[in-house]
Amino acid sequence: MIKIAIASGKGGTGKTFVATNIFHVLTQKNVSSVLADCDAEAPNVLSFFESVRKETHEVIQFVPVIDVNKCTYCGKCHEYCTYNAIFILPPSKIISVIEDLCHGCGACTVACEYDAITEKPFPLGNVNICLYKGSHPIIEARMNTGIMSPVRVIKQALRHIGHEAEIAVLDSPPGTSCPFIQTVNQADYVILVTEPTPFGLSDLRQSAETLKTMNRPFGVIINKAGMGNNDVRDYLAREGISLLLEIPYSKKIAGLYSRGRLPVESDESFGIQLLNIIENITAGYGNSNNKR
């Protein structure tokens, strides 16, 4: 298996557009593939494929419950908590857990010498597993409203990718923070999608630098080519970053996509371009067995 993450710094550049078109064309060619929608804050990959839901796994973490009858207000649990999730005012005998801040590490339970802390499950989101055309899994990470970080839900979703499929396409969340890192860290290769605008370049630069630090190989697709300016191309040439493809800015593509249709369904040459990119990546970076 080779895992290819589709990412970008900026939102709205076309990550999901590229990921869904690649997955579609791979399944068209009967290449065994899996698509993971890791944009847990706003997953939308499933709206492009008629699929059948097979499984739903709830993602939970454990948060402490404090028994005030046993608590001596010693403050040790508060000291152990790196995330400031336990609020304590010993003189007023007030102690409370701020569940939103809890990372579920369990340190407070270890800290308590008075048996005053138990744990209860706290739902973070779901991992939905669907099948497209009967055999190609689409894994959706979907976090619950109001949860602080999607990382745990993404982590769970990535575990369901398995090793059977030939190609796994990972649709990454935008940005370069933890959710992005979590996704691309699993990838053998990263395709960064950008647009030729100053915003696109600024965020592309951040993502490229992050991936260099992580030692992750990557290339760039310029989406909506024809708008903006030439600075992204100049940057790629200067940095020696490979430009994999330019997708022209087109009202027709935008129109199709907004109706939930993918250009590869009707545009054979676009499909071939994407397949060539995947073939080259597989030839160059496949079988690395990145099991992280």
Partner 1 sequence: MKVAITSTGSTSDSKLDQRFGRCSYFAIYDTETRETEFIPNPGKDATDGAGPAAVQIVASRNVKKIISGDFGAKIRSLLDNLGIEMTAIKDPEKSISDIVNMLGKQ
> Considering only 3-11, 97-105, 120-128, 204-212, which stretch makes contact with partner 1 by CB under 8 A?
97-105
Q: How far is the CB of 43 from partner 1 (least distance, A)?
A: 24
Report phi then psi at 44, rounded to 5: -140, 5
The footprint of partner 1 on residues 15-74 (CB under 8 A) is none
Q: Which two tokens stand for residue 37?
A: 């929608």
Binding flag, residue 178, partner 1 (CB under 8 A): no
Residue 86 burial (10 A CB sphere; 0-12, 13-18, 19+): buried
* Spatial distance between the Cα atoms of 5 and 131, rounded to a whole number of angstroms: 20
Residue 36 burial (10 A CB sphere; 0-12, 13-18, 19+): buried
Binding flag, residue 145, partner 1 (CB under 8 A): no
Q: How far is the CB of 54 from partner 1 (least distance, A)?
A: 36
* Distant-in-sequence, close-in-space partners of 210: CB < 8 Å, separation ≥ 6: 176, 180, 181
Q: How far is the CB of 89 from partner 1 (least distance, A)?
A: 5
Among 31, 60, 74, 101, binds partner 1 (CB under 8 A): 101
Q: Does an H or E element contain 182, and which?
A: helix 178-184
Is-contact 203 8, C-beta < 8 A?
yes
Angle between helices 268-285 and 15-28 (to 10 degrees): 90
Residue with tokens 């630090």: 213
Among 42, 89, 178, 237, binds partner 1 (CB under 8 A): 89
Residue (92 or 145) nearer to partner 1, CB = 92
Q: How far is the CB of 98 from partner 1 (least distance, A)?
A: 5
> Considering only 95-103, 116-124, 166-174, 207-215, which stretch makes contact with partner 1 by CB under 8 A?
95-103
Binding flag, residue 94, partner 1 (CB under 8 A): yes
Residue 222's DSSP bridge partners are: 194, 246
Q: How far is the CB of 240 from partner 1 (least distance, A)?
A: 35
> Considering only 96-104, 157-165, 166-174, 177-185, which stretch makes contact with partner 1 by CB under 8 A?
96-104
Residue (103 or 160) nearer to partner 1, CB = 103
The residue ranges that bind partner 1 (CB under 8 A) are: 82-85, 87-89, 91-92, 94, 96, 98, 100-101, 103
